[in-house]
Amino acid sequence: MSDSAIAPRRLPVWQHARRLGRASVGLGFVAVTGALLGVSSASLSVASVSMLVAVVSASLLGYEAGLVAAVSGFVVLNYFFTTPVGSLLIARADDLLVLVAFIVVAVIVAAVVARLTALRLRSERTAREVALRLTLANRLLAGDDPTEVLEAVAGELVTLYDLASCSLASDAAHAYAAAARPPVDHLAVQCGSLQVALGLGRPLSALDSAAITALGTELATALELIRLEDQVVAQRVSVDLASLRAGFLTGVTHDLRTPLATIKAAAGTLLVDDAPLEAGVRRELLESVYEGSAHLEGLVTKVLEFTRARAGDLQLERASVAPGELAAAAAARLARVAADQPIEVDVDPCVPAVDVDPVLLEHVMVNLLENALRYSTSGDPVQVEALDAGEAIELRVVDHGPGIPDDQRERVFEEFVRLRPREGGGIGLGLAIVQGLVAAHDGQVWCEATPGGGATFVVSLPVSGPGAS
């Protein structure tokens, strides 16, 4: 057997049995028609037309059945409806002419009807083949499981080509379908990476063989494309992950150097035994060490929070909290940092409570306020508002700084992204942490322009309590 095509094989016993069955059916049509004509004592002309109808009916089953019906109809007409009755002799010339015309017309009609029937069946099968290919392509493109697609194809092939069984196997999937009958023979073909094994229920024509081979090749090609696409996606993920790791290390290393250098320099000066340090200088050095340590602690905390948020390892301890309390607590934590830039909290006490983790949501507000204070013009207040949006509440942190360009508002939530790296000393993780913490609360966060200039960050959270959906 060739590896690239299914070659039709001859099955003499099966073919003869099939043809004999069709011939028997054709003979049965003629026998029933002859019996009915004999009972009704029909004339030769009426009997000829009736026999022609029987031949047409038998021809629907194939040319063999039509031919047997034509010959047996000729014998029946000759024996029962021509003079002398009960004999194969023909006494009258016009009877002979009728019989000759009958056999000629019957044979031609049988051939034409059988051919038209075969073409109709071929057309229907072709339509089903095309539909099968379209369905196959659409399902694979839609991302369906290859195993389920192969199972559907195997079942359709069994029905379409009268197979006893069909097995489709590749490296990625395997499927098997069978009919309730034993196979008369087996065929196997290798279509690329797809192994096709067929249990035949009937002989395959050359067209059927070609169609099955083409379908198998198309299926193998589609599976190979899916495999290659998966490899490409996996490679991209690997590259992106490597890039993310490199960026993570670069960003963290860069932002750790400044406080470490400050701590090292101050500590080194303090450790010099003979250094004449005044009390004020010594205090300044100690304050530098403390502030550098606090800065390092903040950076490490942000990295840990970012890692937990990205890994989905956050354990929420939810409680019903008023938005005003969250805003006030966050503003109080930044009171010393924001001495020159007031934080104005404007929250209507009628705004519904939210079901959140108070500690994590307070940290969200702190990060947003730190970001707003960093980029706000000195002296301009940063505003915190809360609005009732129906099934959700919106916490809004408004600044009046330089603002964020439209095409950068989605990008600011990516890790290590700082639109103005020279302004402020952030590591570029604050907004990424905000997005992760808000998503863990089934909420959303986005950025929009502040009227008159600046940026407004909006946190939308589902409402808790009786008004919750």
Q: Which helix (H) or strand (E) holds 34?
A: helix 12-40
**Average pLDDT of the segment spanning 322-335:** 85
The pLDDT of residue 446 is 92
- Delineate the domains of the chain, giving CATH numbers in brackets: 12-121 (no CATH), 235-311 (1.10.287.130), 319-462 (3.30.565.10)
Task: Check residue 463 and report its DSSP letter.
Answer: B
Decide if 106 contacts 69 (C-beta within 8 A).
yes
The strand ranges marked E within 357-465 are 382-388, 392-398, 444-449, 455-462
Q: At what angle do helices 44-59 and 63-81 cross, to 10 degrees?
A: 160
- With beta carbons less than 8 A apart as the criterion, state whether 5 and 213 touch: yes
Whole-angstrom distance, CA of residue 292 vs CA of residue 261? 9
List the structure tokens of 45: 């002309």
Residue 171: closest CA among 214, 215, 227, 213: 227
Cis peptide upstream of residue 381 (ω within 30 degrees of 0): no
Assign 296 a pLDDT band (cuts: 50, 70, 90): confident
Q: 410 is written with which tokens?
A: 């989605």
**Mind listing the pLDDT tens digit for each residue in 410-465?**
888 876 666 655 454 555 667 877 888 888 888 999 999 998 888 999 999 988 64
pTM, whole model, 2 decimals?
0.43
Which one-letter amino acid corresponds to residue 188?
A
| Short-list 231, 225, 209, 228, CA closest to 137 | 225
State the greatest distance between any 2 C-alpha atoms of the chain, in Å, as a whole number: 151
Ranked by mean pLDDT, the top range of 70-84, 110-124, 257-271, 443-457 is 443-457
- Weakest-pLDDT range from 75-89, 128-142, 143-157: 128-142
pLDDT of residue 178: 86
**Cβ contacts of residue 76 below 8 Å, gap of 6+?**
30, 34, 51
For residue range 169-221, list pLDDT tens digits in order: 887 778 888 887 788 778 887 877 788 888 887 777 777 777 778 777 877 77
CA gap 220, 243 in Å, rounded: 34
What is the structure's pLDDT at 375? 80
Q: Angle at the Cα of 79 (from 75 to 82), degrees rounded to 5?
A: 110
Q: What's the CA gap between 29 and 36, in Å, rounded?
A: 11
List of residues 6+ apart from 389 with CB closer than 8 A:
460
Q: How confident is the model at residue 141 (pLDDT cuts 50, 70, 90)?
A: low
pLDDT digits (tens, 9 = 90+) for 384-405: 998 888 888 999 999 988 888 8
Question: In the 8-state DSSP scheme, what is residue 166?
Answer: E
Q: pLDDT band for position 3 (50/70/90)?
A: very low
Residue 102 one-letter amino acid:
F
